[in-house]
Amino acid sequence: MYGDIKKPTHLDDVVFKESKAYKNSNEWSWVNPKHGEFDHPANYYESSLEDWHCFDTLTADQECDVVVIGGGLLGSSAALHLAEHGIDTILVEKNRIGSAASGRNGGQLTPGLARWEAEEMIKRFSYEDAKKLWHFTSTEAMTLIDQIAEKYDVNLARKRGHITAAVHEGHLIALTQGADARKYLGEDHTKVVGEYELKALIKSDLYKGGLVDDLGGHIHPLALNRALVHGFCKNGGQVFEQTEVNSISEQADGIYVQTVTGVIKARKSVVIAVHHNAFKLLPEKKQTAIPFHTYIAVTAPLDVPITELLPQDHPVYDTQLQIDYYRGVSNNRLLFGGQGTGTSWGVGHINQYLLGRVNKVFPQLNKVEMDFCWSGVSDLTMNGATDNRKFGNKYPIYAVHGWSGHGVAQTVRIGKAIADDFSGKNADYAMLTKIQHSDILFGRLLAPLAIPMSKGWYGVTGMLNPGKMVSF
């Protein structure tokens, strides 16, 4: 039906324009007024790609084997891999493909399961189970993205290498321990470097050293999202945008997915891939995640080559409590993100904050201007790992949420694991469902208070013990 859906195509720089997505009350986007006045401007990612296909809204009842709810990276990956297995699949998205966190994140590829890294897995599992989980979320996740790019011949602006920069010399101990844990689990792509060696990679005086990770890297996340849907369509999948799901109901002959404009009967399964709003559709009302707001800006073209700041084009995040993360993007621009809040901060506050951080990290820059700035919403679990569920009586229902601000590559890998589990190919997804999560009583209501209180507490402990690495 959609075999002619084109691949994502990158522009040389950007076209300032209105977004094709609909406004979300939880998020905002801004562009510098010198480039025009827009009611709902496209963020950098949408502006740096050619306009793409807009799928129709569901207008009539449908029937298929599996319904995937949510057109972000998780849902699109699950749909693609289901379709590759020959399973009749429909993907529905309440807004536009990649309009939420999957098309608004920092685009950094780092290993781990949300905030769980190798050390955490070793503490919680047997050696063999920890090793399996680590490779699932690291080597396998990164390899899968490369395989998809090759199979469907898509340009994802994929770059290799990543740096975790230590803002305190004591943090090098934690980074060294993390690298050692990864080697213990059979993955050796890291090197801990000191202050002077790091300066050859990041032209900033802020850092005392860091961890260089050759496995990680960065990517254009919206291009990745569109590439997954492109592949899904080539395999015969159907997509409906502007199609919000109100409820799901398991009955004797299938699962009925009720949308605003029609009903889709799933004969065999449903995948719920709607991030922090998943609890609205879950029959299990256990709330294991709370939402939090994050922010990203992209500069105007800089007055010095980006290679004078990041000579080898590494993306970076640091080890301060409220992390900075940044990387070079097209036409000599710098993408810079940071801050996580319980309520949405306004564009004026965030622009000032992020511009101040850019100048702090790279004081050698002159007259830095922001061309783009936007907010996004992620979700946070108590233990820092994703909550992966499988339930249902006669028919399996899958749901994943709680990314805690991390996991571009792992989201794609879990989408494949869902398809493999449904097809009976392996037990990878079953491994994820064994991770236990605590209910957060009144969690969503308390998020505006809980997040600043937690950050305040960690800030105090950080002042008392600055060598202890705690990042939010």
Residue type, 165: A
The predicted pLDDT at position 243 comes to: 97
Q: What is the mean pLDDT of residues 253-280?
A: 90
467 pLDDT more than 60: no
pLDDT at 463 over 60: no
Integer Cα distance of 404 and 381 in angstroms: 7
Compute the C-alpha angle 435/439/444, nearest 5°: 120
State the average pLDDT over residues 231-249. Answer: 96
Amino acid 464: pLDDT: 47
Contacts of 75 (CB under 8 A, 6+ apart): 68, 69, 91, 93, 271, 273, 274, 415
Which residues, 6+ apart, have CB-to-CB distance to 54 below 8 Å? Answer: 20, 96, 241
Q: Are residues 446 and 434 in the same domain?
A: no
Specify whether 270 is located in the same domain as 415.
yes
Q: What is the DSSP letter of 290?
A: E
Residues 250 and 62: their CA atoms lie apart, in Å, by: 16
Is 316 among the domain residues? Answer: yes
| 3-class DSSP assignment, residue 174 | helix
pLDDT at 256: 97
Residues 248, 397: one domain?
yes
Q: Are residues 299 and 361 in the same domain?
A: yes
- In terms of domains, do 202 and 85 share one? no
**Confidence (pLDDT) at 153:** 97
Domain that holds residue 62: 40-105+222-287+384-440
Please report the pLDDT score of residue 343 as a whole number.
85
Same domain, 305 and 345: yes
User: What is the number of structural domains in the chain?
Assistant: 2
> Is residue 13 a part of any domain in this protein?
no
| Residue 312 sits in the same domain as residue 426 | no
* Residues 6 or more apart whose Cβ sits within 8 Å of residue 46: 17, 19, 20, 21, 103, 222
Terminal alpha carbon distance of the chain = 44
Q: Is the pLDDT of residue 461 over 60?
A: no
Assigned domain for 389 exists: yes
- 246 with 350, same domain: the answer is no
Residues 463, 364: one domain?
Answer: yes
Domain identity same for 267 and 370: no
In a domain, 231, yes or no: yes
Q: Are 239 and 355 found together in one domain? A: no
Q: How many angstroms separate the CA atoms of 81 and 152, rounded?
A: 13
* Secondary structure (3-state) at 152: coil
The whole-model pTM stands at 0.95
CA 225 to chain centre: 11
- The domain spanning residue 86 has which CATH number? 3.50.50.60
The domain that contains 329 carries what CATH number? 3.30.9.10
pLDDT of residue 207: 98
Looking at residue 455, its pLDDT comes to 52
3-state helix, strand, coil in the chain (%, to 5): 35, 25, 40
Least confident range from 76-80, 212-216, 377-381, 419-423: namely 377-381
Residue 49, Ramachandran bin (φ over 0: left; ψ between -120 and 50: alpha; else beta) = beta
Task: State the alpha helices, DSSP H only, in 311-469.
Answer: 347-361, 408-423, 428-433, 443-464
321 and 189 in a single domain? The answer is: yes
Residue 9 lies in a domain: no
